[in-house]
Amino acid sequence: MPGYQGKILRVDLGTGKTWVEEKDEMFYRRYWGGRGIIAYYLLNEVPREADPLGPENVLVFAAGPLTGAPFAGSGRNSVGAKSPLTGGYGDAEGGGFFGAELKRAGFDAIVIKGCSEKPVYLYVHDGEAELKDASHLWGKTTGEVEDLIKEELGDRLVRVAQCGPAGENLVRFACVANDLTHFAGRTGMGAVMGSKKLRAVAVRGKGQVQVANPEKLRELARWMTENAPVLAPGLTDTGTAGGTVNLSVAGGLPTRNFKQGSFEGAEKISGQTMRDTVLVDRDTCYSCPIRCKRVVKTETPYKVDPRYGGPEYETIGSLGSNLGIDDLVAICKGNELCNAYGLDTISTGVTIAFAMECFERGLFTLEETGGLDLRFGNKDAVLKAIELIKERKGFGDLLALGSRELSRRIGCGAEDLAMHVRGQEIPMHEPRLKYALGIGYAVSPTGADHCHNFHDTGYEKADSRGFEELKGLGIYDPLPASDLSPEKIHMFWTVTNLRTFANVAVICQFVPWSVQQLEELVRAVTGWNTTAAEILAAGERANTMARVFNLREGIDLSEERLPKRFFQAFSEGPLAGKAADPAVWEKAKITAYKMAGWTEEGIPTKECLARLGIGWASKYLPDKG
C-alpha cells in the first residue's frame, strides 16, 4: 500500500504483550495519520472519564501517509493521548527523524495502553518490537538516556523519543523529545509516558516507504530543494526567532505575562542576534534543505551544551520577553534545561510568568516560594524554578501543575492572571494583534495552540504570499487582522483545516508547499486522486473527532474563552487602545461554531459528522447534537 505500511503496533504495558494490527486502505484514507488516527483510537479505546495518568489512557505515536517519503517536511510525527494538562483531547507534533524511522521500521503508528510496573523502553526494529528494562535510565537526562540506549543497542542510528525526568515525575506539561532537539511539546504527553513507566521508544528500520510515483515525487522534492533558498531564506538565516523584532514593533510580542506587547530588549533576544553571537550550526529534519533548527553554544555566564540545539521563537518569547528577560544566553540555558528534562518551554515559561505576576502583586511571599525571588527579569530565579519543576520540589511542585490548576489553588483573583485556554498555556502570539487567532485559541481541541491556528497578519494584503494561497481555495477578499466578520471566520476555518491537514499527513507547516503541490505530493506518494477538497476535509474531520472526544469527556464549553486580559487594550505601544469587543468576539465564536456545522452551543451536529464520513462518532455526542 503506497504511503503506508498497513501495520499498527499495539502494546499493552500491563501484560507486556505486543501485537500487530493490520488496517485496510479505507481506514487510512479516512483517518490519514497523526491527529486522525489518534482521535480514532482515543474515541474508541479510552473509557469515558479515564484518568489521563492511569492505565486506561491510550498513548499513540503516529506518522502519516507522507511521513518518511523523501521530500522536504516529511520527518515529523504526532504523539497523542488524553491530556493530563487539559483533561481533554491531547496531541503534539515534533520534527526530526523519528517519524520517518518509524515508517522504515514497518509501522504507521504505535498504540500503547496500560502501565508497566517497572520502567521500560520500547525497541521497535524492522517489524519487531520488544520491551526492555529501563530501570537504569530512570532519573537521567534526555542526553544521558539517548547515549545509553544507543550504546546498549549498539546502533548509533536508532531514533529515540523519550519523556525526560519531568515526564517521570508527572509534571503536567512534560513533553516528548525526539533526538534531544525536536519536541512534541504540548498537552503533557511526556507525563502520560511517565505514568506508564515508558521512558523511551527507540525505532530503527531498513525498510522503505513505498511510493506510487517515485519519478513525480523526485521532481517535487528537487523543486523544493532548488527553490527553498528563494522561498524561505529567513527561516534558514535566523530560524523561527527571526520574527521576534517584527512582533515587538507591531506590538504583539508577549511581554511580562502578556501585560505588554512590545519588549525593550527584543533585539537583544532576536534570531538575528542569536545568529551573530551564540549560533554555531544549523540543524534540520529528515530530508529538509531549509535547516531552520538552531544549534547554540556558550561558555559564560552560563555553559550551554550544543547537543540540545537552540531556542525556537516560542522559547525566545516564553523564557525571554514574557518573563522580562533580555539575556539571550540565559534563555539558551533555560532552553537547554527544558530540553534535558523534557519540559514544554511554552507552558514552563507561561506558568512561571503567571507566578511572577502573582509574586509582584503580593499573592506569594518570598517564604512561600521557598526563597525564589520571582520578579520579572530575574533570570537566575527562572533557571532555579525550571530545576524545581522537574524535581517537583518545593515551589516547583506547585508550578508543575500548570497555570490553571495553580491559579485555582491560589484563588483571590489569581485566575484572571493565568494565561491559558482550557488549561493549556497560551503560546507566543497575541490575540490583540491577531483577532481570529484568539477565536482559534478558544475553539482548538487541545486548548490554546498556535500551530493548527490562523495568523491574521498573513492575510491582510491581496498580493501577499499568504493570501495568494487562499485564492485557489475560493477566498478573494483580504481582511484586516482586527476583523471578526463571518468572512474572516470562513478564512479562519479554511486555514485551520489546511494547517490541521499537515498534522494528519504528517508533515511540516514551515516548508512552503502550495496547496496544489500538496495535492501532487499526496497523489505521488499514495496514488490516490486527492484534491484540495479532500485535503481540507481530512483536517476538518480530525479536528471534529478530537472535539467529539472532548464533549464525550464532559468538557465545559463555557471554558472556550480567552482570559479577560485579552479584551483590555494596552495603555501604550503600537496597539494602544486596540482590543476585541467581548460581545463582538463572542458573536464571532458562535459564527465559527455554526460555520463548522455545530450547534450554537458548539456541539457538532449529526449532519456535520455525516458530511465528514464519521457518522459513527455521533454516539459519543451529548443529547443536543
Footprint of other proteins on this chain (CB under 8 A)? 229-235, 237-238, 240, 242-243, 245-247, 249-250, 252, 272, 429, 434, 437, 450-451, 453, 455, 457-458, 460-468, 499, 509-510, 574
CB of 230 to other proteins, least distance (A): 6
For residue 431, whether the previous peptide bond is cis, meaning omega lies within 30 degrees of 0, is: no
Which DSSP symbol is given to 255? B
The dihedral through the CA atoms of 115, 120, 125, 127 has a sign that is: negative
Nearer to other proteins, 114 or 252 (CB): 252
CB of 318 to other proteins, least distance (A): 14
CB of 437 to other proteins, least distance (A): 8
Nearer to other proteins, 168 or 430 (CB): 430
CB of 252 to other proteins, least distance (A): 8
Nearer to other proteins, 246 or 514 (CB): 246
Q: Tell me the CB-side half-sphere exposure of residue 96, using CA atoms within 13 A.
A: 26
CB of 254 to other proteins, least distance (A): 12
CB of 210 to other proteins, least distance (A): 29
Q: Are 472 and 493 in contact (CB under 8 A)?
A: no
CB of 125 to other proteins, least distance (A): 33
Burial (Cβ within 10 Å: 0-12, 13-18, ≥19) of residue 476: exposed
Cα maximum dimension of the chain: 67
Burial (Cβ within 10 Å: 0-12, 13-18, ≥19) of residue 505: buried
Query: Measured between alpha carbons, how far is 625 from 612 in angstroms, rounded to an integer?
Result: 15
Nearer to other proteins, 234 or 615 (CB): 234
Nearer to other proteins, 201 or 495 (CB): 495
Residue 383: left if φ>0, alpha if ψ -120 to 50, beta else—which one?
alpha
Nearer to other proteins, 230 or 583 (CB): 230
- Structure-block grid coordinates of residue 389: 519543576
CB of 306 to other proteins, least distance (A): 23
Q: If you write DSSP's letter for every residue of 288-338 in order, what string do you get?
A: -SS--EEEE-B-SSS-B-GGG----HHHHHHTTGGGT---HHHHHHHHHHH
Query: Measured between alpha carbons, how far is 175 from 184 in angstroms, rounded to an integer?
Result: 6
Nearer to other proteins, 204 or 450 (CB): 450
Nearer to other proteins, 145 or 350 (CB): 350
Backbone dihedral angles phi then psi of residue 326, each to the nearest 5 degrees: -115, 20
Q: Rounded to the nearest 5 degrees, what angle is found at the Cα of 555, between the Cα atoms of 550 and 558?
A: 125
CB of 23 to other proteins, least distance (A): 30
Helix H or strand E encompassing 103:
helix 98-104
Nearest to 505 by CA among 41, 29, 34, 37: 34
Nearer to other proteins, 106 or 243 (CB): 243
Nearer to other proteins, 377 or 458 (CB): 458
Q: Residue holding cell 481533554?
A: 88
CB of 158 to other proteins, least distance (A): 29
Q: Residue holding cell 498537552?
A: 187
Query: Measured between alpha carbons, how far is 332 from 297 in angstroms, rounded to an integer?
Result: 9
CB of 575 to other proteins, least distance (A): 11
Nearer to other proteins, 414 or 426 (CB): 426
CB of 206 to other proteins, least distance (A): 33
Burial (Cβ within 10 Å: 0-12, 13-18, ≥19) of residue 301: exposed
Cα separations (Å) of 341 from 8, 111, 215? 29, 24, 43
The dihedral through the CA atoms of 213, 214, 219, 222 has a sign that is: positive
Query: Measured between alpha carbons, how far is 77 from 104 in angstroms, rounded to an integer?
Result: 13
Nearer to other proteins, 119 or 309 (CB): 309
